[in-house]
């Protein structure tokens, strides 16, 4: 791992050795390639890169998750991991999900619950015969063939390791989505010698650099600070204001009964998604969602 002098993660291999200096005319080639990609995507009705799979949200985000760091935060139980998992399986390209808290088998169960319409509890209770349970798992595999899980619950995954794993997961594909769950847990493993504040700042900087080196979006789950646990907001992520300044987007999830949306189906809870920062479009937009905890599924109202 590339580190600063105090041991904090700074970025991955392949990061530019020095800043770029250019005149506007030297950007014309990049401009042309970007314009062509945007035109082709519009004509063909395809995404220009990884998406969340939630149509209204993707429209607010400019049609895709742009390269850079994207933060998702919310109160406990609102479905942050479910949101990130759903995005990783619906993004339309290879995805690498780095889990620092939940074991991969549990994530596999949650994906299976959503894909197969099977309550999560049934996959754990023993009520399903092993052959039937395994058949459901096979259906989940078929639905998410380009998703790779990285288990960082027992051993720290440094920036260099993630970079190598991400490139392996991408293969020859043009696009990639990288998920880190959660950024706070990942930062704790980076350097025990740093304070929480410094470790978070270093982790945010490292993931931004990694996103640039890979040319992909990094979707990171963040914990809430106590004061903003319920009310959320742009600066609600615990520990550092760099969440606010360093992210391409900041997305908040709030469990809330909508007064305008129709009543949710049985087992669903109303969740309001707030795009609190958005470098690719207007901030302050809200998307009404329904979250089914037993099926680990979000859908738009």
Q: Are strands 285-292 and 297-300 parallel, antiparallel or unpaired?
A: antiparallel
- pLDDT given for residue 234 in this prediction: 52
- pLDDT given for residue 17 in this prediction: 62
pLDDT exceeds cutoff 60 at 145: yes
- pLDDT given for residue 253 in this prediction: 95
Write the pLDDT tens digit of every residue in 202-224.
999 999 999 999 999 999 999 87
Return the exposure string of 227-258: e unless at least 16 CB atoms fall within 10 Å of the residue's CB, then b.
ebeeebbbbbbbbbebbbebbbbbbbbbbeeb
Indicate the pLDDT class of residue 150, thresholds 50, 70 and 90. very high
Nearest to 61 by CA among 51, 76, 69: 51
- pLDDT given for residue 12 in this prediction: 42
Four-residue CA torsion sign, 192, 198, 203, 209: negative
Q: Would you list the domain boundaries of the chain?
A: 67-248
Give the number of C-alpha atoms closer than 13 A to the C-alpha of residue 61, restricted to the C-beta side.
30
Taking the chain, what is the end-to-end CA distance rounded to the nearest angstrom?
Answer: 43
Structure tokens at 74: 């919310």
Structure tokens at 212: 């640039």
Four-residue CA torsion sign, 55, 207, 199, 248: negative
Write the pLDDT tens digit of every residue in 10-39.
444 444 568 889 999 999 999 999 899 889
Lowest mean pLDDT of 10-14, 84-88, 279-283, name the range. Answer: 10-14
Give the DSSP per-residue string, 21-47: ---GGGGHHHHHHHHHHHHHHHHHT--
pTM for this predicted structure: 0.87
- pLDDT given for residue 242 in this prediction: 84
* Fold annotation for 67-248: Rossmann fold (3.40.50)
**Residues in contact with 109: Cβ distance below 8 Å, sequence separation at least 6, in sequence order:** 120, 123, 124
Name the phi and psi angles at 60, rounded to 5. -65, -35
């Amino acid at each position: 791992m590339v580190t600063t002098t105090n041991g904090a993660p700074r970025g991955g291999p392949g990061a530019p050795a020095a800043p770029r200096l250019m005149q506007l005319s030297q950007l014309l080639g990049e401009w042309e390639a970007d314009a062509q990609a945007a035109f082709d995507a519009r004509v063909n009705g395809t995404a220009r890169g990884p998406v969340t799979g939630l149509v209204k949200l993707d429209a607010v985000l400019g049609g895709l998750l742009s390269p850079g760091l994207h933060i998702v935060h919310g109160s406990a139980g609102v479905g942050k991991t479910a949101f990130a998992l759903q995005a990783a399986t619906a993004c339309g390209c290879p995805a690498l999900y780095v889990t620092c808290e939940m074991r991969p088998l549990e994530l596999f169960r949650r994906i299976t619950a959503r894909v197969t319409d099977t309550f999560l509890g049934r996959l754990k209770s023993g009520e399903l015969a092993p052959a039937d349970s395994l058949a459901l798992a096979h259906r989940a595999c078929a639905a998410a063939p380009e998703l790779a899980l990285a288990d960082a619950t027992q051993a720290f995954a440094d920036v260099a390791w993630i970079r190598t794993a991400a490139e392996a997961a991408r293969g020859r594909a043009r696009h990639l989505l990288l998920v880190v769950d959660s950024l706070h847990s990942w930062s704790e493993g980076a350097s025990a010698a740093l304070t929480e504040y410094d470790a978070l700042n270093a982790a945010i900087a490292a993931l931004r650099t990694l996103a640039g080196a890979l040319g992909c979006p990094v979707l990171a789950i963040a914990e809430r600070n106590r004061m903003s646990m319920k009310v959320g907001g742009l600066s609600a992520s615990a520990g550092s204001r760099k969440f606010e300044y360093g992210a391409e987007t900041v997305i908040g999830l709030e469990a809330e009964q909508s007064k305008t949306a129709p009543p949710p189906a049985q087992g669903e809870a109303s969740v309001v998604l707030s795009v609190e920062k958005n470098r690719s479009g207007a901030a302050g937009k809200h998307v009404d969602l329904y979250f089914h905890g037993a099926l680990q599924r979000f859908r738009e109202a």
